[in-house]
Structure formats: C-alpha cells, structure tokens
Amino acid sequence: MARIFVVANQKGGVGKTTTTVNLAAALASLGQRVLLVDLDPQGNATMGCGIDKRALVRSVYHVLIGLCDIEEAALRSPQGGFTVLPANRDLAGAEVELVDFEERETRLREALAQVEPQYDVVLIDCPPSLSMLTLNGFCAAHGVIIPMQCEYYALEGLSDLVNTIKKVHANFNTRLKVIGLLRVMFDPRMTLSQQVSDQLTQHFGDKVFQTVIPRNVRLAEAPSYGVPGVVFDAQSKGARAYVEFARELLERIRSLPDA
C-alpha cells in the first residue's frame, strides 16, 4: 500500500509547494509510482507540474465533494513522471460546502483508499493554514513532512503545528506522525541560517532530515515553465538536493512500521 505524506506548515512561502513538486519528481526518477495531491486553492503545485489550473474539468474539489473519483480527476504531469490530482480556485468553496457533510475531515482519506494500491507514495501539498483542507490532509496521511526556512521566526508557530498534529493523532488518525523537518532555502553564508539550523537539531534531534535544500534560483525558475526543478535542470544544486532528500525519505520510510 502507498505511503501517504502531507507537506505542511501553516506559514506561507516556506517552500511547501516547491518541496512537494520536486520530491514527487525525484521519487519518480527513482522508480516510485507517485501521486501528488494539490490541496491548495492557489493551484501552485498544479501549475508547477505543467497542468493548467484554469482548464480543469475536474479537480480535487470534485473529489472532496463526492462528484467524482480520484481516477476521473487525476492527470499526468507531462514532464514530471508522476500523477497529479489538481486544484484551482473551486477548492476555496469546499471549505464551506464540506460543513454539510458528516465525517468531513476524512473525505480525502476515503477517496485515496480507492487508488492506494496503484501508488508507492502519495504526497499532499497543503494551503498555508490549519483549515479543513489541511485537516483532510492530516487525516489521510501516515506522516507529516515539515519544510522550514532557517530564519529567526521559523520556530515560532512550529508548536501550533505540532499541537495540531497531536490533536489529529488523538481524535482522527492514530497513524499520523511527524516524519521529519526539512531545512529549505538554506543559505550557508548566513550565520543566522546556521544558528537556527543548530537550534532545530538540538530541539528535534534526528527528526531533522540530514539533507538540506539550498537556496537555488533554478528551483524558483522552474515553475514558470511548468516543469519540476528536478527535471528542469537536473544538475543544479537544488535538483540534486531534492533527489538526495528522496533517497533519505525512502530510507526513513523503510524503518517505519507497516501501515
């Protein structure tokens, strides 16, 4: 069965989408069958995978509301080598519409159960909030990957996130755990980056992934071409770091108990 990971951090602009898209492409390049679920109405992951969010007939919105199955809405990333359950602005309405459903926090989990055998890894990109959409991500997942920028305020808010994960674990999803914290947009020339990074490892120990994703302009350029950075410039430092991270994650998955 697939391992399901949610990439979450309630802050915006911390590298969630970049991590989800590039990790998906990196895992695919290592032979994994990957499904990326875009849970953000901004649809940035969808666009970054080379799928036009304005042209969607069906999307994750339709799946959550029960209008179609994942198979009917999923599309192939033209150059990514993986499958995408895309999103666009329609998804913003789901928050309100889901209020009428019973067990509204497990809609995604129910939908994923149908397609799980077809994938090795499912990656869920979350919006920058702890909303009903993010809650659906948490309820569907085995683990959370938390991308973090090593900035002064990075640790602020982390306890809210960890508390939310604990609550979800207690109330909805006992299999949920923090898989690890990923340092992204890292700038080794900045003393502050190094200091915060040290604090992070002191605090969270081996929950911090060893791989560090550097700040790399090729990763930032790739989305405008609709190609994951890992494919766009495979030799760039950023791309190579994400492939290394994919290897480390697979290693970590192996040590997890069976789902």
Binding site for ligand ADP (CB under 6 A): 12-18, 44, 128, 184-185, 213, 215-216, 219-220, 223, 238
Between CA 66 and CA 82 the distance in angstroms is: 24
In this complex, which beta carbon is closest to ligand ADP, that of residue 120 or of residue 124? 124
Q: Among residue numbers 14 through 33, which ones bind Mg ion (CB under 5 A)?
A: 16-17
Between CA 83 and CA 78 the distance in angstroms is: 9
Residue type, position 207, single letter: K
Residue type, position 135, single letter: L
In this complex, which beta carbon is closest to ligand ADP, that of residue 56 or of residue 212? 212
Per rule CB under 5 A, count of chain residues that contact Mg ion: 3
Exposure string for 204-231, b = 16+ CB within 10 A, e = fewer: beeebbebbbbbbebbeebbeebbbbbb
Least Å distance, CB 244 to ligand ADP, is 13
Least Å distance, CB 81 to Mg ion, is 21
In this complex, which beta carbon is closest to ligand ADP, that of residue 24 or of residue 184? 184
Report DSSP state, residue 258. P
Between CA 218 and CA 71 the distance in angstroms is: 32
In this complex, which beta carbon is closest to ligand ADP, that of residue 105 or of residue 125? 125
State the CB neighbour count (10 A cutoff) for residue 117.
9
Least Å distance, CB 40 to Mg ion, is 5
Question: Which of ligand ADP, Mg ion, none binds 185 (CB below 5-8 Å, type-dependent)?
Answer: ligand ADP
Q: Among residue numbers 37 through 56, which ones bind Mg ion (CB under 5 A)?
A: 44
